[in-house]
Amino acid sequence: MFWLPLPAAVRVGVRRVGAPRLWGRGLHAAAMTKGLVLGIYSKNEDGVQPFTSAGENFNKLVDGKLRDVLNISGPPLKTGKTRTFYGLHKDFPTVVVVGLGKTSVQFNELENWNEGKENIRAAVAAGCRQVQDLELSSVEVDPCGDAQAAAEGAVLGLYEYDDLKQKKKTVVSAKLHGSGDEEAWQKGVLFASGQNLARQLMETPANEMTPTRFAEIIEKNLRGANSKTEVHIRPKSWIEEQEMGSFLSVAKGSDEPPVFLEIHYRGSPNASDLPLVFVGKGITFDSGGISIKASANMDLMRADMGGAATICSAIVSAAKLNLPINIIGLAPLCENMPSGRANKPGDVVRAMNGKTIQVDNTDAEGRLILADALCYAHTFNPKAIINAATLTGAMDIALGSGATGVFTNSSWLWNKLFEASVDTGDRVWRMPLFEHYTRQVVDCQLADVNNIGKYRSAGACTAAAFLKEFVTHSHWAHLDIAGVMTNKDEVPYLRKGMTGRPTRTLIEFLLRFRQDTA
């Protein structure tokens, strides 16, 4: 067997030097820790599966041996599937070839995403996991025609929450193979790392991820991202001063003190530029309160602060990107627990704007804490308000994990969110915000508005209608992310567990928002 050293990334063609060596002789142990992921497309009209540019260059480098072993290794590689080969090159003892599907696939109108990007994410994630399973500590990744998507697939696919386990998976360092798309690769790493931060926050057990701890983690990450930031961890006394009675009514059921987290990123060169305000539901554990949930799967409610996790992670990412816009993040953080002090069905509480709320179901608590946060958001005279919340089981029933449900009074805002989601593959779907649903929450016996709808049906829509009662801004969107909170096997480049969705869509939205206001 002849060992052909890998040429410099900027060179093209094959360089043959070196003496023949036998496998296992003269091969440094360090080299055995590196893998290479290369892409290959579905069969073309000539019945051949073409390699990517990087794959073709590597195949030439090893005198066509990659093609030879691939041809005799089984049927053509399907999209997202992998095949692993050993001993082809001394610099990369392990090579994983991944199926990318058809060439030149882009926007799929029926799927509402860029199919080519999704194929790259899924394929690269599968290849990197194969390297991780082999306990290799580093991998170089073929950009596969879109280095950002490849980086997202690698970083998202390798992530698994094992912070509290003694036995951990091998930590794999993923790098771009070649040097032509480094900027796009780093952008993908940043997007995926933002989502992974949200995943970590959501997955951490509730006894570890208290309101105070959540705020401290975000403060550390935001201050480390950019100097143009400001963090206020507001205590219960401040919440009381703001007369956020709706938020406090939920928090009072727990011994864990509530926190109102307020973060600022001032990226605009013009200090007077109006901010964009993100609001996130921050229930760090939801038992349901007196209207207690069934015990089955209640442990998943450690992620009921997914709205706060995603909006804060998106702002941290925007700060790392140094975007020239001003952004404010608001996260009311508390637990929803049953106790002698907890809300009782039939109680009436008063929100920051003076509206009274009849609490007929204490498990509809997310909208109660968001009501006060949305009122407070208006005090900043923002350009737009976007809130995210794992708000209703009804949204999971309606859309499942296929898309985030978006309720908005602004077609401009909807279009921007939709365009961003097509690019990221983390889709959104517009839901109705009809007066039909408003009537079902304002028809209330004891107060101005009820925290549940008059009828059992359309729970996601009546929840959105409730929030609308606390919004006067003409550009507002409510993202119900309950259906996309967890992943079983639906998204191939995410492991089972909390997803951190739709963080990348929010980051992409901020990028586009910046471009529109530049």
Residues identified as active-site: 293, 367
Give the three-class secondary structure for 161: coil
Alpha-carbon Rg for the chain, nearest whole angstrom, is 25
Instruction: Extract the tokens encoding 291.
Output: 């209207």
The β-bridge relationship of strands 282-286 and 326-336 is parallel
> Contact 184/150 with Cβ under 8 angstroms?
no
Helix (H) / strand (E) element for 160: namely none
d(CA 18, CA 4): 7
d(CA 59, CA 123): 19
d(CA 415, CA 398): 21
Say which residues have a Cβ less than 8 Å from residue 499's Cβ, sequence separation at least 6. 195, 199, 202, 401, 484, 485, 486, 487, 491
Question: What Å distances lie between residue 347 and 344, 362, 453, CA to CA?
Answer: 6, 9, 16
Give the three-class secondary structure for 477: strand
d(CA 121, CA 408): 30
Say which residues have a Cβ less than 8 Å from residue 73's Cβ, sequence separation at least 6. 83, 85
d(CA 49, CA 45): 10
Give Cα 406 distance to the centre of its chain: 16
d(CA 227, CA 193): 19
Say which residues have a Cβ less than 8 Å from residue 298's Cβ, sequence separation at least 6. 287
Helix (H) / strand (E) element for 450: namely strand 449-450
Instruction: Output the CA torsion 23→28→31→33 (10° steps).
Output: 100
Beta bridge partners of 96: 37, 84
DSSP 405-422: EEEES-HHHHHHHHHHHH
Instruction: Extract the tokens encoding 167.
Output: 């036995």
> Contact 188/152 with Cβ under 8 angstroms?
yes
> Contact 298/488 with Cβ under 8 angstroms?
no
